Amino acid sequence: MALSHCFSGNCLTDFLRIGRTNRLECSCLGDRFPFVIDSHLDSHLIFTPIFLEGIALATRVILVRHGISTYNVLGKVQGHCDESTLTDEGREGARRVGLALQGIRFNAAYSSPLKRAKSTAEIILSTVDHAPVLQFTDDLKEINLSDWEGMAFDEVKQQFPDAHRLWRDRPHELQMQRSTPDGLQPFYPVPALYDQARQLWQTVLSAHEGETILLVAHSGINRALICTAVGLEATDYPAFGQMNCAINVLNFSGKLGQPVQLESVNLTAHLDKPLPTQRAGQTGPRLLLVRHGETDWNREKRFQGQIDVPLNEQGRRQSEKAAAFLEHVTIDRAVSSPMLRPKETAEIILQSRSHIPLELDERLCEISHGLWEGKLEEEIQDVYADELAAWKDAPETVQMPAGENLQQVWERAIAAWDSIVATAPTDRPTTTLVVAHDAINKAILCYLINRGASHFWTFKQGNCAVTVIDYPKGAGSTPVMQALNITTHLDSGVLDRTAAGAL
């Protein structure tokens, strides 16, 4: 049994590791939660709780893209080609990743064997504490673009115009040829990459259950890994952004196909880039989706729903930090739920932008929990045990007593979102701030990847977290989740340590 302190907020409560059960008890986080051991400092164990809305998580994965390479700078197709190496900027980016990951204890580390990823992984592990031995696997290699590798993208566009358009618009349909023992054979690079990603997950998750692992790879395979983790197919290949040296955090409850939580995607603040940059030539709108700051009921793990609970002092500090984080980001429009906690969050973020009116949309109000509102989880457990269990396991099946079901939340949240996107200017790039609630944000994020309410728990939304969504070609184009659940501005490091309270 080991003793440490909770650092998930301002609480100084001690908590315990009890045998091999990996449970903790802490008043600021609720009754009991799973946790993982992150690191040992001065003979004190440091524990980090990880959550999937009541489901114990087994494995944490930190997924990193390699640093800027010579081919990145030259605008060349890399793929399996191993002539590209890290630039000075790429090496510095890798060092910063290592600094950002200090304090996280890795049980294992894997890398693509290609030079640009291998060097990135080696630099990261030379910086973190208690680094494991680096292992290499071809399952982390970049997408095989055999017909184009080594060519500049401009050359590809000129020499293969039809294939280039297919790659841009429907990459899963692109066909190329690759060498086999029987000679050149046609194949589809993106579906093949997804098969590769599934194989990687099957191998790694089986070998490292209950551990924290580091994976260092490439843009294409990282996107395939994120997509396959949450059950997306090759048709969803463009769904997530991946910048050089970006950090992603995924929490698995078990093997591939079991519940998984995307804690964060495409974090870049450690590179002095608060938000991922938009692609060159992008003309569509960017939306910043923010969850409100902390309330006392978040901290108590009390169901809020549509009871109008205001921010607490911690929530106001979080909102001020979000305002500072977005200080140099141009915001053209702002929309919020009219409830106190998101409205005040939005007002604090906009306090230096008095020229931007705050629009209020009732469709963005939090889910109505009905008779659960104002109650702690254990109080609900006493009366609605079956419904509470279903809420954690199959939320799409639950009708809140005297409240809403997720389909009702979906309909109004998506109607509000689509209206905001549709009314964005089309003559220039714009950025719209949208401040809402946990359930509303989760519904919108599921919608953006064409998934329904059964995927409700897939996305983490911490208090005052920022999520970035781009519509590259305008309101009718396929949205790209450029970053998910950024909480680095809350001085919590890479991991989301905001209150894990009820909605």
Clarify whether residues 180 and 261 are in a common domain: yes
Task: Tell me the HSE value of 79 on the side-chain side, using a 13 A CA sphere.
Answer: 20
Clarify whether residues 90 and 206 are in a common domain: yes
Q: Which residue has the tokens 């450690």?
A: 270
| CATH of residue 109 | 3.40.50.1240
Which among 351, 334, 343 is positioned nearest to 308, based on CA atoms?
343
Instruction: Cite the beta strand spans of 353-437 per DSSP E.
Output: 358-360, 431-436
Clarify whether residues 43 and 63 are in a common domain: no
The mean of the pLDDT values for the chain is 89
- Checking if the pLDDT of 280 tops 80, the result is no
- Checking if the pLDDT of 187 tops 70, the result is yes
- Checking if the pLDDT of 219 tops 70, the result is yes
The answer to whether residue 277 sits within a structural domain is no
H helices within 282-339, ranges in order? 296-300, 313-325
Cβ pair 480, 226 in contact under 8 A: no
pLDDT of residue 56: 59
What's the whole-number mean pLDDT along residues 4-29? Answer: 35
pLDDT of residue 426: 74
What's the whole-number mean pLDDT along residues 412-425? Answer: 95
What's the whole-number mean pLDDT along residues 204-226? Answer: 97
Q: Give per-residue pLDDT as tens, 17-30.
A: 323 233 343 433 33
Q: Give per-residue pLDDT as tens, 98-118.
A: 999 999 999 999 999 999 999
pLDDT of residue 425: 82
pLDDT of residue 427: 77
What's the whole-number mean pLDDT along residues 442-446? Answer: 98
The answer to whether residue 469 sits within a structural domain is yes
Clarify whether residues 358 and 246 are in a common domain: no
Task: Give the list of residues 6+ apart from residue 28 with CB closer than 8 angstroms, or none.
Answer: 6, 8, 9, 10, 11, 13, 299, 499
What's the whole-number mean pLDDT along residues 469-486? Answer: 91
Work out the burial of residue 481: count CB atoms within 10 Å of its CB; fewer than 13 is exposed, 13-18 middle, 19 or more buried.
buried
| 3-class DSSP state of 164 | helix
pLDDT of residue 57: 64
The answer to whether residue 212 sits within a structural domain is yes
pLDDT of residue 495: 95
Q: Give per-residue pLDDT as tens, 35-73.
A: 444 433 333 334 444 445 555 567 999 999 999 999 999
What's the whole-number mean pLDDT along residues 393-409? Answer: 96
In the chain, the number of structural domains is: 3
Q: Is the entire prediction scored with pTM above 0.95?
A: no
Clarify whether residues 365 and 248 are in a common domain: no
- Checking if the pLDDT of 91 tops 50, the result is yes
pLDDT of residue 470: 96
| Residue range of the domain that includes 17 | 2-49
pLDDT band at 336 (very low <50, low <70, confident <90, very high): very high
Which of 47-61, 206-220, 311-325, 452-466 is predicted least confidently? 47-61
Clarify whether residues 221 and 294 are in a common domain: no
Decide which of 230, 246, 271 is a domain's last residue: 271
Which of 133-137, 170-174, 298-302, 474-478 is predicted least confidently? 474-478
